[in-house]
């Protein structure tokens, strides 16, 4: 029997980017808020100390900051005709755990989705006809870019994003991304100083007629004090971003932008090493009463609350909704149900160039310092004569030259021995890579549900993932790979090697931690789990915040949009929901 605690106004599940943003915004209104985090407390000074943070073996190889399958595993299959099996080790994607969540170990690419991304179905139908998307299940988001612009701006200024605007109030700006939707003001910081590799890439891209620009970066180009008064430092280009916490206070995360202020508030509490088992509903299943969680000692607690915010990693949000019976689980056979619908990923490919006369010094790097070409992203180009929709950004972002993981050698090199050592020495400084990050469009057969066989350590069904790359997305990726080859040839390497995206999705090699969907937003409760403010259609005092809300994924990193959605939801809760608690903000 769970022990019952005194009630709170708000209980937040997860204390990463979204949990921290919502906690700050709602405590500002005077609400009493508690955040329950499955993993441990993590703080920059104590957990990401400069004396040991750059430990590649501990953090990059052994994945010290990541969720382990012993704590929560998932099962996977490519199609419904297969039997899903547990992923015994996370490989394809790496969910974080602990305070800060995935925002601790990200690289820092911070994008805005475009107007056409938010209206994918209506935009593509109007431009190309319904037949072009007949094999897909893409949807509009129920919110427009214009409605999201101010929320994007707030997240960028909270983080101190380094970049160059390409479209200011409809006026195209030299040096920025000419394809982006209009923003109202510049980035808070100028772009990062470019090392040689992305500089050379940009020259090659320009030579074949494309429009490279500095990648928007949450690695700070200068010292910065954000709107909350929290000071951050300039990036030192140490090459330890992805899979690492930032010891230098120069990569934006909950730890460096919000938590120093949030943790001092008397009306906020964080409980770590405590796993929420379910959201508790009333007898009618129409309102949440709070959550039940279990602490590190195995003691079960009931935390009553007037409002429940699911701010865990997107996949965990969807699973918790299913376990709590919030909404109906999606059935791909009938198309009915919304929770688990439209699971999407990212469709990536790469190319590696080997030179004889270049020195790129790859160890001088950061997670998001580079150049991007968006000429073939989204619907920036005419798909009329092509056999696909969607697109990809082409990114040259040399994130690191770390000694264990960065060992570029050309094909035919032995995997060990003196010849391998010589090839490592010969190619370490003179290899350049760039990649395409492609859209992932929803298909009827790609979804999440609960596994009928496998259970976790608490006896709950594991999340089951059914996913394969749609043929549309494979065709898109191959076409964009051809454009990457054009850039590669313009750079005149001695050799280049392509890594094209092909079926089927394999959960073993790392590809991207950009999992989206499962609790998608929209204007119709028959095809979406949450409304435009991320409020559950079925249980109105539950809000579900994160990439779980994406109806499909664009060819961009999701974090900027996740942060913007958090601010968008917070504004709706503060300015609308609290005036009439328990009411639906959008009428079905």
Between CA 79 and CA 447 the distance in angstroms is 10
What are the pLDDT digits (tens) for 290-341? 999 999 999 999 999 999 999 999 999 999 999 999 999 999 999 999 999 9
- Number of domains forming the structure of the chain: 1
Q: In angstroms, how far is the first alpha carbon of the chain from the final one?
A: 37
What are the pLDDT digits (tens) for 41-70? 999 999 999 888 899 999 999 999 999 999
Q: What percent of the chain has pLDDT over 70?
A: 100
465 found inside a domain: yes
Cβ density class 62-97: b for 16+ within 10 Å, e for less: ebbbbbeeeebbbbbbbeeeeebeebeebebbbbbb
Here the tokens at position 378 are 């989204």
234 found inside a domain: yes
Arithmetic mean of pLDDT, 459-475: 98
pLDDT at 588 over 90: no
pLDDT at 464: 98
Mean pLDDT (the chain, rounded): 97
pLDDT at 72: 95
550 found inside a domain: yes
Arithmetic mean of pLDDT, 340-349: 98
pLDDT at 359: 97
21 found inside a domain: yes
Peptide bond into 504 cis (omega under 30): yes
Q: What percent of the chain has pLDDT over 90?
A: 98
pLDDT at 217 over 90: yes
Between CA 219 and CA 213 the distance in angstroms is 16
pLDDT at 482: 98
CB atoms inside a 10 Å sphere around CB 302: 15
Domain limits for position 238 = 3-579
DSSP 23: H
Between CA 409 and CA 401 the distance in angstroms is 13
What are the pLDDT digits (tens) for 7-27? 999 999 999 999 999 999 999
What are the pLDDT digits (tens) for 413-461? 999 999 999 999 999 999 999 999 999 999 999 999 999 999 999 999 9
375 found inside a domain: yes
587 found inside a domain: no
CATH code of 519's domain: 3.50.50.60
Give the helix ranges, DSSP H, for 35-159: 44-47, 56, 102-105, 115-118, 120-128, 145-159
Arithmetic mean of pLDDT, 406-415: 95
586 found inside a domain: no
pLDDT at 332: 97
- Look-up: residue for tokens 């690419």? 109
What are the pLDDT digits (tens) for 80-127? 999 999 999 999 999 999 999 999 999 999 999 999 999 999 999 999
Residues catalogued as catalytic:
514
588 found inside a domain: no
Confidence bin at 1 (pLDDT 50/70/90)? confident
């Amino acid at each position: 029997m769970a022990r019952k605690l005194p009630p709170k106004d708000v209980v937040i599940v997860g204390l990463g980017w979204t949990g921290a943003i919502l906690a700050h915004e709602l405590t500002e209104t005077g609400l009493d808020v508690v955040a329950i985090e499955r993993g441990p407390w993590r703080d920059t000074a104590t957990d990401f100390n400069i004396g040991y943070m750059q430990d590649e073996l501990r953090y990059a190889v052994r994945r010290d900051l990541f969720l382990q399958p012993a704590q929560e595993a998932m099962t996977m299959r490519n199609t419904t005709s297969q039997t899903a099996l547990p992923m015994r080790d996370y490989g394809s994607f790496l969910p974080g755990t602990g305070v800060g969540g995935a925002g601790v170990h990200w690289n820092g690419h911070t994008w805005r989705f475009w107007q056409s991304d938010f209206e994918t179905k209506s935009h593509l139908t109007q431009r190309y006809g319904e037949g072009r998307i007949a094999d897909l299940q893409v949807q509009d988001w129920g919110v427009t870019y214009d409605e999201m612009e101010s929320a994007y701006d707030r997240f960028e200024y909270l983080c101190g994003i380094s970049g160059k605007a390409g479209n200011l109030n409809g006026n195209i700006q030299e040096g920025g991304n000419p394809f982006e939707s209009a923003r109202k003001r510049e980035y808070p910081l100028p772009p990062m100083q470019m090392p040689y590799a992305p500089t050379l890439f940009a020259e090659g891209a320009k030579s074949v007629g494309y429009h490279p620009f500095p990648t928007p970066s949450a690695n700070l180009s200068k010292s910065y004090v954000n709107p909350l008064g929290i000071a951050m430092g300039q990036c030192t280009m140490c090459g330890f971003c992805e899979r690492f916490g930032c010891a230098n206070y120069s990569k934006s995360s909950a730890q460096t932008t919000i938590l120093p202020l949030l943790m001092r508030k008397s009306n906020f509490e964080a409980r770590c090493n405590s796993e929420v088992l379910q959201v508790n509903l009333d007898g009618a299943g129409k309102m949440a009463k709070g959550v039940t969680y279990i602490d590190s000692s195995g003691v079960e607690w009931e935390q009553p609350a007037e409002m429940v915010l699911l701010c865990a990693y997107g996949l965990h949000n969807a699973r918790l909704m299913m376990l709590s019976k919030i909404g109906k689980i999606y059935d791909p056979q009938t198309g009915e149900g919304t929770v688990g619908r439209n699971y999407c990923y990212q469709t990536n490919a790469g190319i590696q160039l080997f030179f004889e006369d270049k020195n790129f010094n790859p160890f001088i790097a950061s997670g998001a310092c580079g150049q991007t070409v968006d000429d073939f992203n989204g619907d920036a180009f005419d798909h009329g004569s092509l056999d696909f929709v969607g697109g990809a950004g082409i990114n040259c972002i040399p994130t690191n030259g770390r000694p264990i993981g960065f060992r570029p050698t050309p094909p035919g090199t032995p995997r060990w021995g003196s010849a391998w050592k010589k090839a490592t020495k010969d190619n370490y400084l003179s290899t350049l890579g760039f990649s395409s990050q492609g859209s992932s469009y929803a298909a009827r057969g790609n979804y999440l549900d609960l596994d009928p066989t496998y259970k976790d350590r608490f006896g709950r069904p594991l999340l089951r993932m059914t996913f394969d790359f749609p043929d549309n997305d494979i065709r898109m990726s191959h076409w964009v790979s051809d454009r990457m080859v054009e850039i590669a040839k313009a750079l005149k390497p001695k050799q280049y090697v392509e890594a094209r995206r092909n079926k089927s999705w394999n959960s073993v090699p790392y590809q991207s931690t950009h999992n989206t969907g499962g609790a998608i937003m929209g204007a119709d409760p028959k095809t979406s789990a949450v409304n435009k403010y991320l409020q559950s259609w079925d249980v109105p005092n539950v809000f579900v915040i994160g990439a779980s809300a994406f109806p499909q994924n664009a060819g961009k990193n999701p974090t900027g949009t996740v942060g913007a959605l958090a601010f968008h939801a917070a504004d709706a809760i503060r300015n609308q929901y609290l005036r009439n608690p328990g009411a639906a903000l959008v009428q079905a």
